[in-house]
Structure 1
């Protein structure tokens, strides 16, 4: 049993000290997941995320990615800001009804999780090394061809919800995942059973109907993908559904009944930065590139760059105009001659809006 294994028990204690909420262990045989991955790629659901296809089956073969890997330690870290109120889901849904207000996904309002998790996973690996001596390992946080959700579900972190995210009965889905590939044989955690039942709330609430079937996401329609991963023009037919979401989308998690159990982070890293919770769209649209870089330093938002930032906000301002918010027109007019053709196109579309 994993719970009685001395080393795993120590790893769990060290992980808790580092701010992780749960540790699991699984093996490297993910062969049963390969066909589903291949089908998802064949349908083109990965969109512009070409790295998904480039690595192919290596995502499902940990021992090919890191030769010598025998076990995978998975780690979970809660990310709701420490000041989150009990009715946070309702509060976030209300923001969608204020078209002049910018919505940044909850996970992105604090420090870049890549930096936080990678650093703490490495510290955990170092602690293991101090205990067992030199061992082969590599840490990952959404940073390589790793089937994170598959590894997490196999190691008892939760089950795959119908929105494809990992769900836990006692923590919902508002957490980050990370892994340590190790060359040590460790006892595996027991997977947990699924508890979505007949609920389809996440599928029904998706603004763009990106969840095409349970556990099947067409990323090309997902607002998180469109505002973060997608580099080009946002499909015109999907722009109205984006509303005032300018970086990511939390709707499928906000509606999920299990997220009433979502836990607050124990770390200040994920506390919301000033100006990223409900700021006016016009304020963010006025940022120069230097201001964008300054205000997003250490934030995951910085990775999309100023051009995509303006593209996303232009769409939101256009949707505000459609909702009758005339105050959205002036900031759009100010960017009408922007140097970027991408920005100009989205601004022109936005200015064509009629209530």
Structure 2
């Protein structure tokens, strides 16, 4: 089996499918991550995301997801928009949710990717993931040389910043592995200093239970009063720690038509958001990730951010 030839094919195919980066790491148990993950969970930093406690072993060992796994292929897909809709003093949603739900867009690409691998290389066992299973995406991305994990716990890439989605192929195929890159955060603490809810208590540790993204999306009950007046108009998700990161000055607009925002979304002002009806919500966010919070959840967030 020609490892180098197969590796070249996979990297070329990733480019063809529109991925901005493709890196490969050896599939092995993430020994260093185990105590970190355990400590984070024990400190309750996952808030009410109880699913984070499940499948502890699977999170750390890719061979539990794909028996005989040899390689973890990491892919980055750009979503940085042409126009930042969060700059007009209205309510804001995270940039990743402007267009069609990324799970749907990228999953289709990954299915095509696996089909191409089977066609070119033959019988390869593997699974594809896009934020959809207990996979420690950022750790694998770091190991595959896609970037380093920043102080805001997100993956940062020297050429592209951090406005991209992560996806993985876990394969029982021997491939050439890439090495990790160094950490370029240096002494910068912009993400920590600018987080209005103090969700980054120390470098490289995010207290998920205080993160605006968690509070507006994952939390299904009432938002605790301690966060009143701290939302800075965010109604779904939050981009603050990315917007202030110096590396994001290198972000370039994506070329994915599916991620273009609905025309109505581009022109919405505060009053439009506050008077949003179920019908308009269903139209604008028909295939969007914003549907995760449901109409009632979005109204709750707007009402909380308003006060």
TM over 0.5: yes
| 1:253 and 2:218 are equivalent in the alignment | no
**Are 2:265 and 2:284, in contact at CA under 8 Å, matched by a contact in 1?**
no
Give, in whole Å, the separation in 2 of the partners of 1:313 and 1:59.
34
| Equivalent residue, structure 1, for 2:15 | 16
SS of residue in 2 equivalent to 1:240: coil
Give, in whole Å, the separation in 2 of the partners of 1:223 and 1:285.
19
**Bigger fraction of residues in helix:** 1
How far apart are residue 143 of structure 1 and its match?
0.5
Q: How do residues 130-279 of structure 1 correspond to structure 2 at under 5 angstroms?
A: 130-277=119-266, 279=268
**Are 1:112 and 1:299, in contact at CA under 8 Å, matched by a contact in 2?**
yes
Q: How do residues 65-84 of structure 1 correspond to structure 2 at under 5 angstroms?
A: 65-81=65-81, 83-84=82-83
Give, in whole Å, the separation in 1 of the partners of 2:185 and 2:266.
30
Give, in whole Å, the separation in 1 of the partners of 2:26 and 2:98.
34
How far apart are residue 278 of structure 1 and its match?
6.0
Question: Quick one: which of 116, 122, 125 aligns to 2:111?
Answer: 122
Cα deviation 1:238-287 (Å, max 9, x = unaligned): 12101211011111111111101112212112222223346223323333
| Equivalent residue, structure 2, for 1:342 | none
| Equivalent residue, structure 2, for 1:48 | 48
| Equivalent residue, structure 1, for 2:37 | 37
Q: Which runs of 5+ in 2 are unaligned?
A: none
Greater CA deviation, 285-294 or 197-206?
285-294
Cα deviation 1:114-161 (Å, max 9, x = unaligned): 111111111111111110112111100000111011111110100000
Cα deviation 1:59-112 (Å, max 9, x = unaligned): 11111122222211110011112x34xxx6xx84x44xx2xx111111111111
SS of residue in 1 equivalent to 2:187: coil
Q: Which runs of 5+ in 1 are unaligned?
A: 319-355
Q: Greater Rg, structure 1 or structure 2?
A: 1
Give, in whole Å, the separation in 2 of the partners of 1:191 and 1:66.
23
How far apart are residue 290 of structure 1 and its match?
3.7
**Are 1:105 and 1:250, in contact at CA under 8 Å, matched by a contact in 2?**
yes
| Equivalent residue, structure 2, for 1:25 | 24
Give, in whole Å, the separation in 2 of the partners of 1:137 and 1:307.
38
**Are 1:281 and 1:313, in contact at CA under 8 Å, matched by a contact in 2?**
no
Give, in whole Å, the separation in 1 of the partners of 2:268 and 2:277.
16
- CA-based RMSD of the aligned residues comes to 1.7
Gap change, CA 1:296 and 1:134, over 3 Å in 2: same
**Are 1:45 and 1:219, in contact at CA under 8 Å, matched by a contact in 2?**
yes
Question: Quick one: which of 296, 311, 315 aligns to 2:304?
Answer: 315
The number of residue pairs the alignment matches comes to 305
**Are 1:70 and 1:183, in contact at CA under 8 Å, matched by a contact in 2?**
yes
| Equivalent residue, structure 2, for 1:334 | none
**Are 2:98 and 2:261, in contact at CA under 8 Å, matched by a contact in 1?**
yes
TM-score normalized with structure 1 length: 0.82
How far apart are residue 309 of structure 1 and its match?
0.9
The runs of at least 4 aligned residues of structure 1 exceeding 3 Å deviation read: none
| Equivalent residue, structure 1, for 2:4 | 5
